[in-house]
Amino acid sequence: MFGCFFLPFLGLGLFFTVMVVRQAIDAAATYSWQAVPCRVVVSEVLETSERAPWFAYLRYTTSAGESVRSSRTFGTYRDAVRFTRRWPAGSGATCYLDPGDPAGALLERKGSGLLILLFLPIPLLFVFIGAAGFCVVVFRVKLKPRVRRGANPDAGRRFMGGLSIAVGLVLLLVFLVGPVRYAVAARSWRVQECRILRSKVRRYSTGSDRFAAEILYSFTVDGEEHRSDAYSLFEYPASGWKSAQRVVNGYRPGSIVACYVNPADADEATLDRDPSIGWLVGLMPLALLAWGVWMIAPKTDFTRR
Task: Report how many domains make up the chain.
Answer: 2
CA angle 180, 182, 186 (to 5 degrees): 115
Judge whether 298 lies within some domain. no
Q: What is the pLDDT of residues 9-54, one digit of tens each?
A: 788 889 989 998 998 888 888 888 888 898 999 999 988 765 567 8
Q: Are 271 and 218 in contact (CB under 8 A)?
A: no
Is residue 79 in a domain?
yes
pLDDT of residue 142: 46
Q: Report how far residue 58's alpha carbon sits from residue 101's, in angstroms, rounded to the nearest whole number.
A: 19
Among 91, 108, 125, the domain boundary falls at: 108
In a domain, 295, yes or no: no
Please check the confidence at residue 278 and state whether its pLDDT lies above 90. Answer: no
Predicted confidence band of residue 217 (pLDDT cuts 50, 70, 90): very high
Confidence (pLDDT) at 283: 77
Nearest to 192 by CA among 167, 170, 217, 213: 217
What separation in angstroms does the CA of 96 have from each of 35, 99, 108?
Answer: 4, 9, 7
Q: Give domain status of residue 215, yes or no.
A: yes
Q: Within 13 Å of residue 294, how many CA atoms lie on the same side as its CB?
A: 6
Distance between CA atoms of 164 and 119, rounded to whole angstroms? 14
Is 65 domain-assigned?
yes
Q: What is the mean pLDDT of residues 188-197?
A: 94
Question: Which residues are within 8 A (CB) of 177 and not within 5 positions of it... i.e. 6 or more apart?
Answer: 282
pLDDT band at 235 (very low <50, low <70, confident <90, very high): low
- Does residue 224 fall inside a structural domain? yes
pLDDT at 176 over 80: no
**Cα–Cα distance measured from residue 30 to residue 281, given in angstroms and rounded to the nearest whole number:** 36
Q: What is the CATH number of the domain that holds 41?
A: 2.40.50
What DSSP element (H or E) covers 137? helix 121-143
* Domain ranges, residue 98: 34-108
Q: With 60 as the cut, is the pLDDT of residue 269 above it?
A: yes
Residue 83 lies inside a defined structural domain of this protein: yes
Question: Which of 108, 143, 161 is a domain's end point?
Answer: 108
